């Protein structure tokens, strides 16, 4: 590997001068600068990022924490982060936490051991865990006091879900609630329930982990109580659609179903899924930008991105 020493020898100056010429920090005469750049090109010199990271105690790697990359919501987020990262000469290390606090702290430790430039976390406990000597941190789709965060407008999304079902004539609604630990799911159901109540609509709630109970045999009368089902995300909605089909309950005629996320798949299910579209890629992209601001000592005010209803056949 060609190092800065080789380059220095080639050009006939000291390594310090080469370093200054390359990084643009400190003085370097135009003449030397040109010769250094030319030689760097010619010898195909690439600075060793590890040495750099050790010296400056800040690498150009950002750590990204997600519950599970297999959940189709996250690849898009990560893509948004990664695209923006590479544009800014940064790399992305991913960690799957499986909602496990121990795994989270382990990853945080790892990120620190790697002199990471910062952390983007879409897991819940990270913001709460008192974590000393942590890197710059952006919370994605999660909020916690004292940390900058970026999220979609979940309150609005929840309202839109309810409003749409109401407009489509639903008046007995089942609200399925997502994972309670996540502020995003809580905000959605707050918006939903608030809207249902101001419109005087009958509703019941169900935790997503009790979903299977709905579809066991002999429960079709329980289900036919409702003519609208609000799901906390699209994946849950797929399961609901499947369960309804198995019980021969017609969607959207007998019951209308609305999801949340607008995953690519939602156009392919049958009936295609009405849902709330979130700017998932942009969440990731902007999260990275915020992180860079934060790392540069600039302010990184929290962001809330807009959401919109996506009408399809399920309502």
27 binds, among DNA, a copy of itself, none (CB under 5 to 8 A by kind): DNA
Q: Which is nearer to a copy of itself, 2 or 201 (CB)?
A: 2
Binding mask 219-238 for a copy of itself (x = CB under 8 A): -------------------x
Q: Rounded to whole angstroms, how far apart are CA atoms 150 and 139?
A: 6
In whole angstroms, what separates CA 94 from the centre of its chain? 12
Binding mask 20-59 for DNA (x = CB under 7 A): x-xx-xxxxxxxx------------xxxx--xx-xxxx--
72 binds, among DNA, a copy of itself, none (CB under 5 to 8 A by kind): a copy of itself
Q: Which is nearer to DNA, 117 or 237 (CB)?
A: 117
Neighbours of 198 (CB within 10 A): 10
Binding mask 248-287 for a copy of itself (x = CB under 8 A): -----------------x-xxxx-----------------
Q: Which is nearer to DNA, 14 or 242 (CB)?
A: 14
Q: Which is nearer to DNA, 35 or 285 (CB)?
A: 35
163 binds, among DNA, a copy of itself, none (CB under 5 to 8 A by kind): none
Q: Check residue 272 and report its DSSP letter.
A: P
Q: How far is the CB of 57 from DNA (least distance, A)?
A: 6
Q: Rounded to whole angstroms, how far apart are CA atoms 277 and 39?
A: 51
End-to-end alpha carbon distance in the chain: 61
Q: How far is the CB of 32 from DNA (least distance, A)?
A: 4
Q: Rounded to whole angstroms, how far apart are CA atoms 26 and 16?
A: 10
Does 177 contact a copy of itself by CB under 8 A?
no
DSSP H or E segment with residue 276: strand 275-277
Three-state SS at 64: strand
Task: Identify which of 45, 294, 257 has the alpha carbon closest to the alpha carbon of residue 150.
Answer: 294
Three-state SS at 26: coil
Q: Rounded to whole angstroms, how far apart are CA atoms 273 and 294?
A: 38
Whether the CB-CB separation of 119 and 138 falls below 8 Å is answered with yes
Estimate the crossing angle of helix 73-87 against helix 280-295, to 10 degrees. 40
Does 130 contact a copy of itself by CB under 8 A?
no
Contact residues: a copy of itself, CB under 8 A: 1, 46-51, 53-54, 59, 61, 68-70, 72, 74-76, 78-79, 82-83, 86, 91-96, 109-110, 112-115, 133, 238-239, 241-242, 245, 265, 267-270
Q: Which residues bind DNA (CB under 7 A)?
A: 1, 3-5, 12-17, 19-20, 22-23, 25-32, 45-48, 51-52, 54-57
């Amino acid at each position: 590997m060609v190092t800065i020493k080789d380059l220095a020898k080639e050009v006939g100056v000291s390594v310090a001068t080469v370093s200054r010429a390359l990084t643009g920090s400190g003085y370097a005469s135009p003449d030397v600068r040109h010769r250094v750049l030319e030689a760097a090109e010619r010898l195909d010199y690439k600075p060793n990022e590890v040495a750099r990271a050790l010296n400056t105690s800040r690498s150009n790697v950002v750590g990204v924490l997600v519950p599970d990359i297999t959940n189709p919501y996250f690849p898009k987020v990560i893509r948004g982060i990664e695209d923006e990262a590479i544009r800014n000469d940064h790399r992305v290390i991913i960690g799957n936490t499986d909602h496990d606090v121990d795994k989270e702290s382990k990853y945080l430790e790892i990120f620190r051991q790697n002199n990471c430039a910062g952390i983007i976390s879409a897991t819940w406990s990270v913001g709460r865990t008192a974590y000393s000597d942590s890197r710059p941190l952006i919370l994605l789709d999660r909020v916690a006091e004292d940390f900058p965060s970026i999220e979609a407008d979940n309150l609005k999304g929840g309202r839109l879900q309810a409003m749409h079902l109401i407009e489509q004539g639903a008046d007995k609604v089942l609200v399925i609630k997502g994972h309670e630990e996540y502020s995003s799911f809580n905000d959605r159901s707050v918006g939903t329930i608030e809207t249902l109540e101001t419109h005087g609509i009958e509703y019941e709630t169900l935790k997503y982990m009790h979903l299977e109970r709905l579809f066991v045999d002999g429960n079709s009368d329980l289900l036919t109580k409702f003519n609208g089902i609000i799901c906390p995300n699209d994946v849950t909605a797929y399961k609901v659609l499947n369960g309804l089909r198995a019980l021969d309950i017609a969607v959207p005629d007998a019951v209308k179903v609305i999801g949340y996320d607008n995953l690519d798949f939602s156009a392919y299910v049958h009936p295609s899924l009405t849902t709330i579209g979130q700017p998932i890629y942009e969440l990731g992209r902007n999260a990275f930008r915020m992180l860079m601001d934060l790392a540069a000592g600039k302010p990184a005010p929290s962001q809330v991105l807009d959401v919109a209803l996506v009408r399809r056949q399920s309502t």
